[in-house]
Structure 1
């Protein structure tokens, strides 16, 4: 259990080490979209727990959701990186998201299950992939609306 918590902490902290490489301008430009989608995913995790879509057997703290390290680590920082390299090129954005989401759904979920951190419950992998795809559209849409209506 202690090793699993360490792995979860590393999963959360390591992406934050790449923040200086993103650049201040990109962070300022995309952070609000990243936080928006991370909040949406946090709300989604409450629904997932109630509907038993997935389970996390390991938490970094008893009062924190098991998904917290994934949402506020690689998901948030990954969203910034993806937007930085693909925003304004929707085709590239969709392709990159499909690649990353497929890796997460079919490889990383298996890894989490193998080491005993979490498992899918009532949600099938294809449904998880569709959920990720919907969230990627929501992220891109938020950024587009933000840049259309809020100049600066």
Structure 2
């Protein structure tokens, strides 16, 4: 039984649509690699990779230390599950949620102090920079990170 052109077209369309992902998750604009800049010295300190979890929250992990004070430093001052673990590879941003054009509700760890702060983030300059703040009560300190 010969196939008609319309039947062939249907098979081609079906094949094309079956090759597409069922549901492509949109990447969050804050996802990617960021060079952290020390707010006091202005020097680049590390590269942090921000990713979005299945639940929609963002987390950030140090993937490279640019000028470590010693080889393979660990978070000796940490008081949680990160205590004594290597800083390279460590998750320092946890539970950050989109909040309009910014992010909030998460925490950030400052490994050299071992302290965890409430955090918020905001994309700047069309997504080329990220302002990251760590807060205690109403006092916040910010750094501006640069997209890699």
TM-score (norm 1): 0.28
TM-score (norm 2): 0.28
Instruction: Report which of the two has the higher share of helix.
Output: 1
Point out which structure has higher relative CO (alpha carbons under 8 A, 6+ apart): 1
